Structures are given as structure tokens and as C-alpha cells.
Amino acid sequence: MTSRVLTIGGDLRVGRIGFGAMQLTGKQVWGEYPDRDGGIAVLRAAVDAGVTFIDTADVYGPHTNEVLIRDALHPYPDDLVIATKGGFVRGGFDYATLGAVGNANYLRQSAHLSARRLGVDTIDLYYLHSGRATDVPFEDQVATLAALREEGLIRHVGLSNVTLEQFRAAQDIVEIAAVTAHFNASARTGADLLRAAENSGAVFSPWHPVTLTEGPDTDKVMAVIEPIAARHGVTARQIALAWLLHRSPVMLPIPGTTSVAHLQDNLAAAEIELSGEHVAAITDLATEA
């Protein structure tokens, strides 16, 4: 049986399936979510259903996603952990305007404003959202977050959009409690970071956790997963999510949705027990170089 909880940074216990709030924004993650009342209802339904980890970022909206979370859930339940991120900037609706900034003044401002929008004094988990910023060295960016941790604004530091080499460099500066990377049943770009997280005790939060059509062999993927889903009486996406929980004890998927029914399906995946044979069959679908 897979564990139903894991611990972030040694002190924050959360359920194995969190909620990624990015979809509760406008088209192309720009602007307000058009159905504000519906977005609030989904967030409240997630917490009512037992979700104890919500993931957001200042660039989602920008800013509107953090405000929506506060408006829906503040004052927060004692067991709710909220993670946010800083370091990306967005200059307009077009994704081409997305860039990365890493200097200390910008990251400090980003973290303080995220805390203000979320309505918290300390951010439970704050990710450097990108290792791509070139205005200052990567190590200086991590050092800024380490200082914010010492000052009490951040409880734990995480990394997103980084390489394995950057992850290792960051570990020399501050404890890294969590890392995010691309990893699912059909694509395993972040496999090296998953192994690094397992070795260090960090939590690993996979991007696109239930996507089944990213690799070149979609038919092969579905040919393996659909019969397993039929045997359990669930969807292929639920099997993909259950597989992640079986794949590693540090895995913290954060599937997002705008539907309460879909949210309930995602959370139900935590109850699915896969056989070792089925776990191995799905694991063999993609290379984990």
C-alpha cells in the first residue's frame, strides 16, 4: 500500500495528491479566471475533500491566482500548505513575453508581494520559478531565497525549471525541500531530478502528471494503461496518477482542474492499489535516462 502522506522539509505533512491552481486564471494563464465564483467553489471543494497542498505562482495571472486563493480560503486551515513561486515575469498575453529575472531586489519584492497577496506572514514553500535568469548568477538567486528563509519570510525553499547541475549547486547553499520537473507516464524529462530528490529527501512535484499523449508512442501508452484502468473500473488518467504515487515515495502530484467532478476523480486515484506488474509495465513505457 502506498503512503497517503509525505513530509516537506521535515515538518509540513501533506496528502500525496495536491492541487495545482494554475488553470484558475484567464486564457493562456493571463488575467482573471472568468468564472470567479466557480474558481472559489473548486478551491473550497478541494480543501473540503482533504487537499492539504495547493500550488500557485506570482506569474499565474499574473498575481490573480494568489488573490483568488486568498479570497476563497483565508483564513487558512491549520493543515493547509500553500506553495508559490517567483522569478518569471510576463509582459502580456503572448507567451513570447515570458522572461526570467533573478536579482535580489526583484526576488525579494516578489516574495514579499506573494505573501501579501496570499495573506500570510510566512510562505510555507517558495520556489525559484526559473533557473534561466541571467541577470545574476544562479547561485546568487538561491542565496537570496536562503536569506529570506533566515529572515522568516520563507519556511522552505524549492526549485522549478532547473537542471540537475543547478539543483546540486543550490544544495550547497540552502536545504532544498522540493523540486518540480516534467515527469509522467509518457514523458520523463525530469527523471534525473526525481533521483536527486529521492537521494536528498526533497519532495518531487511532476509537471503534467496525468498527460498521456506527450511521447511519440501514444498508442503504446494507451494499450498498456487502458486495460489496467478497465480492470480497476477507473479512467486512464486516474491510473497514470496512481502510478506516480507508486513510482516514488517522494512524489507529490498537483493535478489541476476547473471541475469539482474532475477534482474528485483525481483525489480518488490515491485509493487505487496497483500490482507490481502493472507498475513495472507503466514504468517501462518511457526512458528514464
Q: What is the pLDDT of residue 43?
A: 98
Over its length of 289 residues, how does the chain's per-residue pLDDT go in tens digits? 788 999 999 999 999 999 999 999 999 999 999 999 999 999 999 999 999 999 999 999 999 999 999 999 999 999 999 999 999 999 999 999 999 999 999 999 999 999 999 999 999 999 999 999 999 999 999 999 999 999 999 999 999 999 999 999 999 999 999 999 999 999 999 999 999 999 999 999 999 999 998 877 889 999 999 999 999 999 999 999 999 999 999 999 999 999 999 999 999 999 999 999 999 999 999 998 7
Largest CA distance in the chain: 54
Q: What is the pLDDT of residue 78?
A: 97
Q: Where are the beta strands (DSSP E) in the chain?
A: 5-8, 12-15, 19-20, 53-55, 81-86, 88-90, 98-100, 123-128, 154-160, 176-182, 203-207
Q: What is the pLDDT of residue 216?
A: 72
Q: What is the pLDDT of residue 35?
A: 98
Domains detected in the chain: 5-209+250-257 (3.20.20.100)
Catalytic residue numbers read 60
Helix axes 236-247, 276-283, angle to 10 degrees: 100
